[in-house]
């Protein structure tokens, strides 16, 4: 954070579960490391955001009062708590270690603009990023821990394409702070990236390396959804043509429906 | 198409407006080239699909009875018309040259599996691809004409990331047949690509070159939406957390809504 401030950052984003690490063996172990939002970890980050005069976004392991803690994140703005989110879409073993949040990812007004706050996998859900952009998010910030998964030689991790696509589809900036290196048996991707509203990287990814990425962003540019002379990322949408319950897990996915009377 | 058949293709996809070219100067010029679906261009393609025993997807310029023709596509399966679509989301000057279709992109049952049929820009709308996958599309086929736009050195066109992301978010194959080279004043990207349900390219892109891409796809693999042991691309969705009217152009995008009483 101090290096970011020295580089002139107004906003600094740290990874998911940045205060504790993420590769827990059990819910009990995670719960033992959890703190409330009023605890010493967030207090220290809050003081840091005041002293360095910046907006600081960080993931932490939050006490829940349940048998599993939350995978949470905060937005701290010059010493003030401005945003708080509990991860709603859990990935992999997180499902047995954390409790899922029950409130949608928020748009957080800050001294530098409106931040959409998601945690890792939530960035990969198009409905989530669309919703944040629709209520005015200018920069989607994503503390993340991307597991380093197999991929074809020469290809960037697919998560990068998803981050780029979320930016471009919604004409917003996307900032991912990912872990790198190894934690217990887990290797992290180190896929931190800053994307512009066209979806192209302004900085990163420098895969697998500890890195401080910096880029100049103009939040108000994300308020302009136009795509050239004739198009607009939002005005072009035709919801009357979209499956109303496309995101509904209760929706009956029956191939015969698509195939009409001609199903194979 | 013959080269594809010789290479063993069961499905061959051609670009958008493949029978006529796409860089029209006016609606009148396009209308003069348009044919009905019963016209000689589609008849010739239909015969080709019968003779070569394959599924053929191609874009064409369709008579509309209006002052502007449609930017359409068909799915022809061993000599039989199985699918037809009129582009619903027009890009750039298409808005003054073509009439927009009024029916959502379809899922088309064929002898090789269920094809989701979109045309170019429609592939970039997350609501469209989600909807197609939700009603059972296994392979999303996208005849396209991607204008060759400026991009940072070393980066693939953002359209590629969007194609990859559509595949990965929905666990479907995505096949894009793009134009390349120059047509009048217009340069095309040549971004044809075949993506697997993980979002990674199975073939292409070979930017800017005329190319025949082939890949082996297993349509039934797209019926499995699981992501490892704990996740599922559809079951993980939590529509109760998504902005119900996120795709509604009539939705009032008011930053104060997001910022609550604390708007800047």
What average pLDDT does this structure show over B120-136? 97
pLDDT(A249) > 80? no
**Looking at residue B243, what is its pLDDT?**
86
Q: Which positions in chain B touch A247 (Cβ < 8 Å)?
A: 130, 237-239, 242
User: Per-residue pLDDT averaged across B17-34, rounded?
Assistant: 96
CA dist B154 and A127 (Å) reads 30
Asked if A131's CB is within 8 angstroms of B126's CB, the reply is no
Contact residues, chain B, for A264 at CB < 8 Å: 109, 111
* Contact (CB<8Å) B91/A125: no
Q: Which residues contact B162 (CB under 8 A, 6 or more apart)?
A: A165, A168, A169, A199, B123, B124
- Cβ-defined contact of B169 to A158 (cutoff 8 Å): no
Contact check, Cβ <8 Å, A164/B161: yes
CA distance A178 to A160: 11
| pLDDT tier for residue A208 given thresholds of 50, 70 and 90 | confident
Q: Reply yes or no on whether the pLDDT at A262 is more than 50.
A: no
Strand positions, DSSP E, chain B: 11-13, 55-62, 70-77, 80-86, 107-110, 113-117, 139-143, 173-177, 180-183, 186-189, 193-195, 201-203, 226-227, 231-232
Instruction: Indicate whether B257 pLDDT > 50.
Output: no
Q: Find chain A residues with C-beta within 8 A of B115's C-beta.
A: none
Beta bridge partners of A231: A227
How many Å apart are CA A219 and CA A213, to the nearest integer?
17
Query: Is A104 within 8 Å of B242 when comparing Cβ atoms?
Result: yes
For CA atoms B99, B102, B107, B110, give the dihedral sign: negative
Distance (Å, rounded) from C-alpha A132 to C-alpha A107? Answer: 6
Q: How far is B73 from chain A (nearest CA, A)?
A: 17
Q: What is the mean pLDDT of residues A14-27?
A: 96
Q: Which two tokens stand for residue B55?
A: 């599924």
Task: Give the residue on B whose Cα is nearest the Cα of A225.
Answer: B253
DSSP secondary-structure letter at B143? E
Are the beta carbons of B158 and A137 separated by less than 8 Å? no
Q: What band does B33 get if pLDDT is binned at 50, 70 and 90?
A: very high
Which residues of A fall within a CB distance of 8 Å from B135? 243, 253, 257-258
Can you give the three-state secondary structure of B48-102, one letter per residue? HHHHCCCEEEEEEEECCCCCCCEEEEEEEECCEEEEEEECCCCCCCHHHHCECCC
d(CA B166, CA B144): 15
What are the backbone angles phi and psi of residue B168, rounded to the nearest 5°? Answer: -70, -40
**Nearest-CA residue of chain A relative to B83?**
A259
**Which of the four pLDDT bands, split at 50, 70 and 90, describes residue B251?**
very low
Would you call B219 helix, strand, or coil by DSSP?
helix
Chain A residue nearest residue B82, CA to CA: A262
What is the mean predicted confidence (pLDDT) over B165-180? 98
Taking the C-alpha atoms of residue B91 and residue A49, their distance in angstroms, rounded to an integer, is 44
| Candidate from A213-227, A238-252, B29-43 with smallest mean pLDDT | A238-252
| Tokens read off for B125 | 């709308």
The CA distance from A149 to A136, in Å, is 33
Task: Give the model's pLDDT for residue B245.
Answer: 54
- Per-residue pLDDT tens digits for B55-69: 999 999 999 999 999
How high is the pLDDT of residue B35?
98
Mean pLDDT score of chain B: 93
Beta bridge partners of B173: B139
Which of A110, A161, A164, A226 to mutate to test binding with chain B, by most B CBs within 10 Å of its CB? A161
According to DSSP, the β-strands at A113-117 and A139-143 are parallel
Secondary structure string (H, E, C) spanning chain A: CHHHHHCCCCEEECCCCCCCCCCCCCHHHHHHHCECCCCHHHHHHHHHHHHCCCEEEEEEEECCCCCCCEEEEEEEECCEEEEEEECCCCCCCHHHHCECCCCCCCEEEECCEEEEECCHHHHHCHHHHHHHHHCCCCEEEEECCCECCCCCCCCCCHHHHHHHHHHHHHCCEEEEECCEEEECCEEEECCCEEECCCCCEEECCCCCCCCCCCCCCCHHHHHCCEECCCEECCCCCCHHHCCCCCCCCCCCCCHHHHHHHHCC
Query: Are B125 and A201 within 8 A, CB to CB?
Result: no
Rounded to two decimals, the pTM is 0.93
Write out chain A residues lying below 8 Å of B127, CB-based. 126, 130, 237, 239, 242-243, 246
**Chain A: residue nearest B159 by CA?**
A165
CB contact under 8 A, A162 and B169: yes
Compute the mean pLDDT over every residue in chain A, rounded to the nearest whole number: 93
Query: Which of A102-116, A242-256, B26-40, B104-118 is predicted least confidently?
Result: A242-256
Record: contact B92-A258, CB cut-off 8 A: no
Contact A136 B254 (CB under 8 A): yes
Please give the average per-residue pLDDT across B112-130, as a whole number: 98
Q: Does residue B27 surpass a pLDDT of 60? A: yes
| Alpha-carbon gap, residue B98 to B106, rounded angstroms | 19
pLDDT in tens, A58-93: 999 999 999 999 999 999 999 999 999 999 999 999
Tell me the shortest Cα–Cα distance from B230 to chain A, in angstroms: 5
How far off is chain A from B82, nearest CA to CA, in Å?
A: 10
Query: Is the model's pLDDT at B4 over the cut of 60?
Result: yes
Contact B253 A164 (CB under 8 A): no
> What chain A residue is nearest to B226 in terms of C-alpha separation?
A92
Residues A92, B229: C-beta atoms closer than 8 Å:
yes
pLDDT digits (tens, 9 = 90+) for B184-218: 999 999 999 999 999 999 999 999 889 999 999 99
The residue among B241, B249, B252, B259 with the most chain A CBs within 10 A of its CB, best to mutate, is B241
pLDDT in tens, A126-179: 999 999 999 999 999 999 999 999 999 999 999 999 999 999 999 999 999 999
Question: Across residues B232-260, what is the average pLDDT?
Answer: 66
Question: For chain B, how big is the Rg over CA atoms in Å?
Answer: 19
Q: Report whether pLDDT(A255) > 50.
A: no
Q: Whole-angstrom Cα distance, residue B151 to residue B187? A: 14
- Tell me whether strands B11-13 and B55-62 are parallel, antiparallel or unpaired: parallel
Average pLDDT over residues B219-241: 97
Q: Which chain B residues have a beta carbon less than 8 Å from that of A246?
A: 127, 130-131, 134
- Please list, residue by residue across A58-78, b when 16 or more beta carbons sit within 10 angstroms of its beta carbon and e when fewer do: bbbbbbbeeebbbbbbbbbbb
Q: pLDDT of B66-93, one tens digit each?
A: 999 999 999 999 999 999 999 999 999 9
């Amino acid at each position: 954070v101090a290096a970011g401030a020295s580089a002139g950052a107004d906003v600094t984003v740290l990874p998911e579960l940045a205060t504790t690490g993420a590769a827990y063996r059990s819910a009990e172990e995670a719960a033992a490391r959890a703190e409330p939002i009023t605890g010493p970890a967030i207090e220290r980050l809050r003081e840091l955001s005041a002293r360095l005069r910046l907006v600081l976004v960080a993931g932490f392991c939050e006490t829940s009062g349940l048998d599993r803690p939350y995978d949470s994140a905060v937005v701290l703005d010059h010493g003030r708590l401005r945003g708080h989110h509990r991860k709603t879409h859990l990935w992999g073993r997180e499902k047995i270690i954390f409790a899922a949040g029950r409130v949608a990812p928020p748009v957080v007004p800050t001294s530098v603009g409106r931040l959409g706050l998601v945690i890792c996998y939530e960035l990969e859900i198009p409905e989530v990023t669309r919703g944040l952009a629709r209520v005015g998010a200018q920069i989607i910030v994503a503390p993340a821990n991307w597991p380093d998964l197999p991929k074809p030689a020469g290809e960037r991790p697919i998560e990068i394409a998803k981050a780029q696509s979320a930016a471009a589809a919604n004409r917003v900036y996307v900032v991912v702070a990912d872990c790198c290196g190894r934690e217990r048996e887990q290797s992290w991707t180190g896929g931190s990236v800053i994307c512009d509203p066209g979806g192209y990287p302004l900085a990163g990814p420098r895969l697998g390396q500890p890195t401080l990425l910096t880029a100049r962003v103009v939040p108000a540019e994300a308020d302009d959804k136009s795509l050239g002379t004739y198009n607009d990322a939002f005005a072009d949408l035709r919801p009357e043509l979209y499956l109303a319950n496309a995101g509904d897990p209760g929706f009956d996915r029956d191939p015969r429906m698509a195939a009409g009377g001609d199903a194979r």
